Amino acid sequence: MAKRIESHQNRIFKWVKSLSLKKNRDKEGVFVAEGLRFISEIPNEWCVKLFIVSEDFAKGQDISTYEKKAETYIVSDELFTLVSDTESPQGILAVCKKQEQPDETIWKKEAPFFILAEELNDPGNLGTVIRTADAAGVDGIFLSKGSVDVYNAKVLRATMGSIFHVPIVQNVLLEDVASKMKENHISLYAAHLRGENFPYELPLDKACSFLIGNEARGLSDKGASLCDCWVKIPMPGQAESLNASMAAGLLMYEVVRQRLK
Amino acid sequence: MAKRIESHQNRIFKWVKSLSLKKNRDKEGVFVAEGLRFISEIPNEWCVKLFIVSEDFAKGQDISTYEKKAETYIVSDELFTLVSDTESPQGILAVCKKQEQPDETIWKKEAPFFILAEELNDPGNLGTVIRTADAAGVDGIFLSKGSVDVYNAKVLRATMGSIFHVPIVQNVLLEDVASKMKENHISLYAAHLRGENFPYELPLDKACSFLIGNEARGLSDKGASLCDCWVKIPMPGQAESLNASMAAGLLMYEVVRQRLK
């Protein structure tokens, strides 16, 4: 049975609210998933610590599926807005355990396909990269130190739940991941203004990975030097560059296209 | 020579500030372009009504190029923040005339390539679509009634200046544009969950156009019924859909790929 939380001074309520800060999410190893669609993406086996639903939500929905999965708390609509990150909350959130670190098996797949990002800072961009990677069947995403936190509410929202599907490793050193790629014969590509090969010419049916640069600064020289090949995304129009997540999506989907055959 | 504006009560200052509202932009036929990079994209022949720069900006830069092009006003840094739309303003903005309505020549190109959007509401998405369309060499964008205003500050920011390069028609009726497409033998495609053809199989070297649906609701039945063919973007992974601007970008770039040959 669901329990009620009556006050914003309640210990559990305060704990959930504290998770809007990265340092608290890091310490507790959890994050907040909000909204019906997002929560419907939580896999059965995923560890959920608790649910919070608003009174209004509990009136309109059968909440017994939530109660069976984890401790469920009902709060007034007013309290819910205090703990919600969105402007028009749907009245349901879940505190979920973070992803496990992916184990060595991700390196052992046949023709694995990875994304690396160097200091990707915009939450919307990172979320879109994760969602697109999930659609494209990417085997893992590596984020360098200095990237925005995957469990930031805006990132999560833009993933539309794909956070539950794609293995993600945060705070990596690019050199380490690049060495690991080399060791496992996985080509590392990056879009670069001085790139000479169109993505359509690359053997992307083979093991491959793409390094994405920061939105404003692009790839660092160090990042660029780690790549096996620079790729040129054609721009027959007048724009001189693409949004970082768009460039990443176009490259991921060239892999999809080549592997369809 | 630049003039000074000393007070937020100044008539010109108040006028520029009023342009944050769509109804005032519509009445005056102008919009505000902000930031150095964005303003550097303004073509020589484009009509600029005036520039406003902050004292700080004027100290660090030669503003004579702006003064030659249009009346230039200097305001204190404090006043600039009042008229700026960004959190950390660069200290320069321009009031520009809106795009002219594209004339009939856009229909007469060889193998034209258009984008239609149905109630695209997210400013970041629309901006990204315009920027990507500019990179891909799209000949025109048609936005249905109910789409977010192209001259909204957030849309403009995400275009990175591509607003100056791609012809855009706002407030269209989809049926009208679809008839015009038919009349001119331009195939109309849309990504659709029930699509049967991958984009890679379509004859996109020929005249073509893509209809993009609303972010949350997707294409309306009416919108979908206007299309000659529904397209299936493959999703070998677990995500069931893509962000609207990402889907649009993938389709636009399939045109680019096919036309490279």
Within 10 angstroms of residue A27's Cβ, the number of other Cβ atoms is 11
Contacts of B210 (CB under 8 A, 6+ apart): B114, B115, B116, B188, B189, B190, B191, B231, B248, B251, B252
Residues of chain A with CATH 3.30.1330.30: 3-97
Segment A132-160, tens digit of pLDDT: 999 999 999 999 999 999 999 999 999 99
CB burial of A237-261 (b: ≥16 within 10 Å; e: otherwise) equals bebeebbbbbbbbbbbbbbbbbbee
Our CA-based measurement puts residue B171 at a distance from the nearest CA of chain A, in whole angstroms, of: 24
CB A32, CB A95: distance < 8 Å: yes
For chain B, say whether A236 makes contact (Cβ under 8 Å). yes
The whole-angstrom separation of Cα A109 and Cα A161 is 24
Q: Model ipTM? A: 0.94
Segment B58-67, tens digit of pLDDT: 999 899 999 9
The CATH number of the domain covering residues in A3-97 = 3.30.1330.30
Our CA-based measurement puts residue B256 at a distance from the nearest CA of chain A, in whole angstroms, of: 8
- pLDDT, position A132: 98
For chain A, say whether B259 makes contact (Cβ under 8 Å). yes
- pLDDT, position A67: 96
A77 pLDDT higher than 90: yes
* CA B78, B81, B82, B84 torsion-angle sign: positive
- B111 in helix, strand or coil? coil
Residues of chain A with CATH 3.40.1280.10: 104-260
Task: Identify which of A131, A165, A250 has the shortest CB distance to residue B243.
Answer: A131
Segment B205-225, tens digit of pLDDT: 999 999 999 988 899 999 999
The least confident of B100-104, B119-123, B145-149, B248-252 is B100-104
Average pLDDT over residues A25-54: 96
Cα nearest neighbour of B165 on chain A:
A238
B109 pLDDT higher than 80: yes
Segment B35-90, tens digit of pLDDT: 999 999 999 999 999 999 999 999 998 999 999 999 999 999 999 999 999 888 99
The whole-angstrom separation of Cα B106 and Cα A196 is 32
pLDDT > 90: percent of chain A? 90
**DSSP code at position B102:** P
Q: Determine, for residues A136 and B235 on separate chains, whether the beta-carbon distance falls below 8 Å.
A: yes
- B69 in helix, strand or coil? helix
| Six-digit token string for B181 | 């497409």
pLDDT band at A126 (very low <50, low <70, confident <90, very high): very high
The fold adopted by the segment(s) B104-260 is Alpha/beta knot (3.40.1280)
Burial of A134 (0-12, 13-18, 19+ CB in 10 A): buried
Q: Average pLDDT, whole number, for chain B?
A: 95
Average pLDDT over residues B4-17: 96
pLDDT band at A212 (very low <50, low <70, confident <90, very high): very high
B104 pLDDT higher than 90: no
pLDDT band at B236 (very low <50, low <70, confident <90, very high): very high
Q: Rounded to two decimals, what is the model's pTM?
A: 0.94
- pLDDT, position A100: 87
Q: Determine, for residues A239 and B131 on separate chains, whether the beta-carbon distance falls below 8 Å.
A: yes
For chain B, say whether A245 makes contact (Cβ under 8 Å). yes
For chain A, say whether B169 makes contact (Cβ under 8 Å). no
- pLDDT, position A230: 97
- pLDDT, position A261: 73
For chain B, say whether A154 makes contact (Cβ under 8 Å). no
B24 pLDDT higher than 90: yes
For chain B, say whether A86 makes contact (Cβ under 8 Å). no
- pLDDT, position A101: 84
Cα nearest neighbour of A252 on chain B:
B250
